[in-house]
Every structure is written in structure tokens, then in C-alpha cells.
């Protein structure tokens, strides 16, 4: 086993998250770890970058085989500043983001900071994976299944690497390790959030709104969606890319529209 | 012409942006306009949502055929709160986001708040378009070309609507209206930002970083990328979808990996 790999870790729950400690444990056997994680929780930050103010990068802890930095920006900022300031001579051999406290399947991919960071890795030409545990954002979630099966996935990853224009999205069901039924390849399921706001009134009589909502699964019977695989007790693994062009519709519209 | 359409407008440059005024002008002939725009500039916010604090929705101006609201959240929050609080009985017939002060081609799609809002429209089943002008974020940019050609695009859109699982991404070159060579169908170009941070030292001797960078075009000779079409003086129009699964790589990895 090559233990000389350079590994970049980040997340969107922030430097103090238990899921990040679990990710460090998962990756320790595979090389030297550099953690660059957000100072504050950054759930739902998608691929946001910080433009209108400056950010900081602060060394936090340093030990044998692992150095941790705090970044005051978003998950994508963490990747960008790591590449710009820390990996100036050598690219990381792999970027791993997570382990997110909460599933990142179906439309959650659109909003996920965890996967925003993995997508940013692809833009830098780094092999990238995101891991998420399908807990309801429980800060004290049990990550043993993630660590155990995550290593199986990493072994395959190093042996037979995916194309460099994809990142992998791994979702682990929130059930005891012994009950996990295995790992299955999935695709992004269709669905959306509904009933999204909790409207309240402040002491001055003015309304304000908290984002909340329920997930509506638009393919409840599909055997191969990420969302449904998790629901059935499987770990879902799916490759994603950044070219969102819909080529079929491009050809159709090209024929149909008159733009002269 | 059906002037009874319900039109939802938003942007990521904020309620005061000149590009939003140009979008209102572009859409006025087509129906009743509801603007829900961010209070503050939200460039680079991608599909971020506000989870860790609450947001406000404030009526700003009301006139014949147009009502404007300010939302204190992100562009995606604007769409979500419009759908949850304002369009409770009737869906908008179309959502238009922009006109962004700056191009949203190639990898900029990943970070764009303008297109984050258009993508959110797709999740709500609303026909959605994003418009961007390839200016270098000039607040006083000339949007006449956008308005003129935008209406040509809207006429085709209403006549021959795209599939509901795509949004259109329109980028207009920053040249005088008379010099625009026409409208061309494009695809998302490949490229990334490099040299991304400007490192400075504060008066206390500590470093801080501003996001900046140069765009590296990885397909400089491709005839059909959004980025290159704009560079050649064409308006680029491209359909995008939200399923980012890479199906080819999914099949290949399914065959190659051993996950038992």
C-alpha cells in the first residue's frame, strides 16, 4: 500500500464536525493528510465562493501525518485556497469531502457544500470523492459504517481510478454497520423539496422565514436511484460530472427554433 | 401576444442592479411581472440556500403590471420564497434570471447565482432562463443588445418551449448592438480559473486573501462552446439540466469495480 499519498480533506459542517474526524480516521492508512475545513458550518452552500470580502487561512493543528487548517470561507474556497497556498508544488493525489451529517442524494446535490468541494476538485484535475451519512443532521451520528465501507471504496478507487472529469458521490444509510446490505452503483434520483418555509412573526409584528421543507421523491419505485438505494439499506455510489449541457435538447432546439 | 403571463424575475446582483432594470424592460410586453431579488449582491453564490439564519421578504415597489420584492437571502432563496409565499395558487409561466453583469459560460456555471436561480426554477417545474452580459462586472454596462436579442429568444421560447427539465443559459457579448453577429446554440466549454488569490498582509502582520484569478480556456479552438461563441461576437444559448450523473462512467465503473 502506498502510504506516501498526499490527501486533501474538507467538508461543509466545519472543522469541529464529528464527520470530519471519521473521515480523517478513514483516510489515515493511505497517506499524509492535509485538512482545510471551514471555520463555520457551511451546509447548503453549494459551489458558492466568497467574492465580496476577503478570507483567512489559519493553521490549526499539526501532528505526524496530519496538518489541519481553518478557512473562513465556503467549502469551495477551502479547496481553492488549499490549491493556491498549500499545494503549490504537488497536487493532492485525492480530495475527499465529508463525511456530511446528512444525505446528499437526488436534488440535494444541487445545494450540497460537501459536493461543491468535490466538484471543485474536478476543476483542479484532482480525483475527488464526497461522503455523506444519511442522518438527520445528528451531530453525534455513528460513522462506523462509513469508515468500514469507505475503505473498501477507496481500495477500488486507487486500483481502478474513475475518469478525471467525474467525482464520486457516496451516500451511506444511517443504520448500524452490521445492517448495511452492501454497496450499489446508483444514479441521481429525481425529486424536490416542498413546503419549504416556516413563517414566523417577530416581536415587532414583522414576518420572517426559516428554510425547512419535506422531500418529494418523484421516482419512488426506481431501483437504481441514489435516494432509493439508501432507503433500502444500501450504500449508493454514483459518478457525476460538471458539464450540465443537455445534448439531446440542444440538438432538438437547434432544429426547431428560428433564430435568424 | 398573450400579455396575461405571470413572470417571475430574479438576479444575483441585487435589487438595485442595472441589469435587473434591463430585464424588466425586456419582459414588460409579455405579462405581469413579479420581481423577487436579493437585497445584497450575491455573485458567486451558486445554488446556495440560507439554513443557519432566517430570511425576510419585503414588498419594495408596486405599479401597474409590476411588483418588486426584496429578499434578504440568496438567489435560490428568492425563487423558493416567491414560490412558497407569492405564487401559492398559480405557478409563474416563466422565470427569468439576470441580466447578470458578467458572463456565465464554461465553469462559471458552477458558481453562478444567476443560473442557480434558473436551476431552482427547473426544480419547481417552471420554464426558466438565465441572461448574462459578458461585461467585466461594469455596473453601468450597456444592455441594449440583451433586450433586443432577448426578445427574439423569448418569442421562440413561448412558441416552441424547451423540455421542462432544462433551463436555458443565454450569454451576450459586451459589444454594441449593431456588432452582435447573431444567436448561436452552444455547449458548456471546458476551462477553469487559475492564479486565484491575491494575498495581502493586514496592519497586524497577518495574511488575508481576496479571490481573483484568470480564466484558462481548455478548448480555445472549439467552434461550439459558449465561451468561444461569445468571444466571436455571437450570443450563445445553451440548454442545461440538473441530472449530473455521468452515465458512461457509471456503466464502465459498474463493470470494472469489485464491491462485494
pLDDT tens digit sequence for B217-245? 999 999 999 999 999 999 999 999 999 99
Helix (H), strand (E) at residue B145: helix B144-159
pLDDT tens digit sequence for A232-248? 999 999 999 999 999 99
Contacts of A179 (CB under 8 A, 6+ apart): A233
Cβ A47–B50 below 8 Å, yes or no?
no
The pLDDT value given to residue A213: 86
Residue A216 β-bridge partners: A192
Does residue A102 contact residue A143 with C-beta atoms inside 8 Å?
A: no
Residue for grid cell 459558449: B226
- Provide the percentage of residues in chain B whose pLDDT is more than 70: 99
Does residue B84 contact residue A197 with C-beta atoms inside 8 Å?
A: yes
Say whether residue A83 is in contact with chain B using an 8 A CB cutoff.
yes
pLDDT tens digit sequence for A142-183? 999 999 999 999 999 999 999 999 999 999 999 999 999 999
Helix (H), strand (E) at residue B193: strand B191-194
- Provide the percentage of residues in chain A whose pLDDT is more than 90: 93
Question: ipTM, 2 decimals?
Answer: 0.95
Residues B20 and B14: their CA atoms lie apart, in Å, by: 8
Residue for grid cell 459560460: B105
Residues A149 and A227: their CA atoms lie apart, in Å, by: 18
Grid coordinates in use for A238? 454514483
Q: Coil, strand or helix: which one is B27? A: helix
Cβ A238–B250 below 8 Å, yes or no?
yes
The pLDDT value given to residue B140: 84
* pLDDT at B173 > cutoff 60: yes
Residues within 8 A of A (CB atoms), B 138-177 only: 152-153, 156, 160, 162-163, 165-166
Grid coordinates in use for A113? 457544500
Say whether residue B181 is in contact with chain A using an 8 A CB cutoff.
no
The pLDDT value given to residue A149: 98
The pLDDT value given to residue A3: 61
Cβ B153–A51 below 8 Å, yes or no?
no
Residue B169 β-bridge partners: B130, B238
The pLDDT value given to residue B60: 97
Q: In B1-71, where does DSSP find H-type helix?
A: 18-27
Contacts of A184 (CB under 8 A, 6+ apart): A224, A229, A234, A235, A236, A237, B259
Pairing outcome for strands A66-71 and A57-63: antiparallel
What is the per-residue DSSP string for B8-21?
EEE-SS-TT-HHHH
Cβ B254–A185 below 8 Å, yes or no?
yes
Q: CA nearest A54 in B: which residue?
A: B210
pLDDT tens digit sequence for A99-127? 999 999 999 999 999 999 999 999 999 99
Does residue A99 contact residue A83 with C-beta atoms inside 8 Å?
A: no
Does residue A44 contact residue B48 with C-beta atoms inside 8 Å?
A: yes
CA B223 to chain centre: 23
Residues B57 and A80: their CA atoms lie apart, in Å, by: 33
The beta-carbon neighbor of B241 closest among A183, A197, A244 is: A244
Say whether residue B71 is in contact with chain A using an 8 A CB cutoff.
no
The closest of B2, B7, B5, B14 to B95, measured between CA atoms, is B7
Residues A10 and A92: their CA atoms lie apart, in Å, by: 12
pLDDT tens digit sequence for B72-89? 999 999 999 999 999 999
* pLDDT at A138 > cutoff 90: no
- Cα dist from B16 to B117, B135, B139, B152, B171, whole Å: 17, 17, 10, 26, 21
Say whether residue B107 is in contact with chain A using an 8 A CB cutoff.
yes
Residues B87 and B89: their CA atoms lie apart, in Å, by: 6
Q: What are phi and psi of A56, to 5 degrees?
A: -115, 155
Q: Which residues from chain A sit within 8 angstroms of residue B119, using beta carbons?
A: 110
The model's pTM = 0.96
**A8 vs A259 pLDDT, higher one:** A8
Q: CA nearest A258 in B: which residue?
A: B156
Cβ B249–A163 below 8 Å, yes or no?
yes
pLDDT tens digit sequence for B35-82? 999 999 999 999 999 999 999 999 999 999 999 999 999 999 999 999
Q: CA nearest A158 in B: which residue?
A: B257
Say whether residue A136 is in contact with chain B using an 8 A CB cutoff.
no
- Based on its alpha-carbon atoms, the radius of gyration of chain A, rounded to whole angstroms, reads 19
- Provide the percentage of residues in chain B whose pLDDT is more than 90: 93
Sign of the torsion angle spanned by Cα atoms B229, B235, B239, B241: positive
Residues B101 and B112: their CA atoms lie apart, in Å, by: 11
Q: CA nearest B123 in A: which residue?
A: A192
Does residue A14 contact residue A36 with C-beta atoms inside 8 Å?
A: no
Does residue A72 contact residue A80 with C-beta atoms inside 8 Å?
A: no
Q: Coil, strand or helix: which one is A3? A: coil
Quickly state the pLDDT bin for B1 (edges 50, 70, 90). Answer: very low
The pLDDT value given to residue A152: 97
The pLDDT value given to residue A194: 84
* pLDDT at B171 > cutoff 50: yes
Residues A234 and A229: their CA atoms lie apart, in Å, by: 5
Sign of the torsion angle spanned by Cα atoms B70, B76, B79, B80: negative
Give the gap in angstroms from C-alpha A182 to the nearest C-alpha of chain B. 7
Grid coordinates in use for A151? 475503505
Helices A144-159, A18-27: crossing angle, 10 deg rounding: 40
Q: What are phi and psi of B71, to 5 degrees?
A: -120, 140
Helix (H), strand (E) at residue B62: strand B57-63
Amino acid at each position: 500500500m502506498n502510504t506516501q499519498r498526499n490527501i486533501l480533506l474538507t467538508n461543509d459542517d466545519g472543522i469541529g464536525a464529528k464527520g470530519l474526524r471519521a473521515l480523517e480516521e478513514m483516510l489515515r492508512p493511505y497517506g499524509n493528510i492535509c485538512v482545510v475545513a471551514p471555520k463555520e458550518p457551511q451546509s447548503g452552500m453549494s459551489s458558492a465562493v466568497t467574492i465580496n470580502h476577503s478570507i483567512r487561512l489559519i493553521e490549526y493543528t499539526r501532528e505526524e501525518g496530519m496538518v489541519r487548517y481553518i478557512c473562513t470561507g465556503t467549502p469551495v474556497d477551502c479547496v481553492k485556497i488549499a490549491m493556491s497556498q498549500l499545494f503549490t508544488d504537488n497536487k493532492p493525489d485525492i480530495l475527499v469531502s465529508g463525511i456530511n451529517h446528512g444525505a446528499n442524494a437526488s436534488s440535494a446535490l444541487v445545494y450540497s457544500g460537501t459536493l461543491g468541494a468535490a466538484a471543485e476538485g474536478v476543476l483542479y484535475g484532482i480525483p475527488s470523492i464526497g461522503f455523506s451519512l444519511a442522518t438527520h443532521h445528528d451531530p453525534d451520528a455513528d460513522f462506523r459504517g462509513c469508515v468500514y465501507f469507505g475503505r473498501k471504496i477507496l481500495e477500488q478507487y486507487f486500483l481502478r481510478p474513475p475518469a478525471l472529469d467525474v467525482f464520486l458521490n457516496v451516500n451511506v444509510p444511517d443504520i448500524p454497520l452490521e445492517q448495511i446490505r452492501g454497496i450499489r452503483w446508483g444514479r441521481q434520483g429525481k425529486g424536490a423539496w416542498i413546503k419549504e418555509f416556516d413563517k414566523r412573526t417577530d416581536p415587532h409584528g414583522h414576518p420572517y422565514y426559516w428554510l425547512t421543507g419535506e422531500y418529494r421523491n418523484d421516482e419512488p419505485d426506481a431501483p437504481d436511484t441514489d435516494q432509493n438505494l439508501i432507503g433500502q439499506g444500501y450504500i449508493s455510489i454514483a459518478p457525476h460530472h460538471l458539464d450540465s449541457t443537455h445534448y439531446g435538447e440542444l440538438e432538438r432546439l437547434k432544429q426547431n427554433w428560428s433564430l435568424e
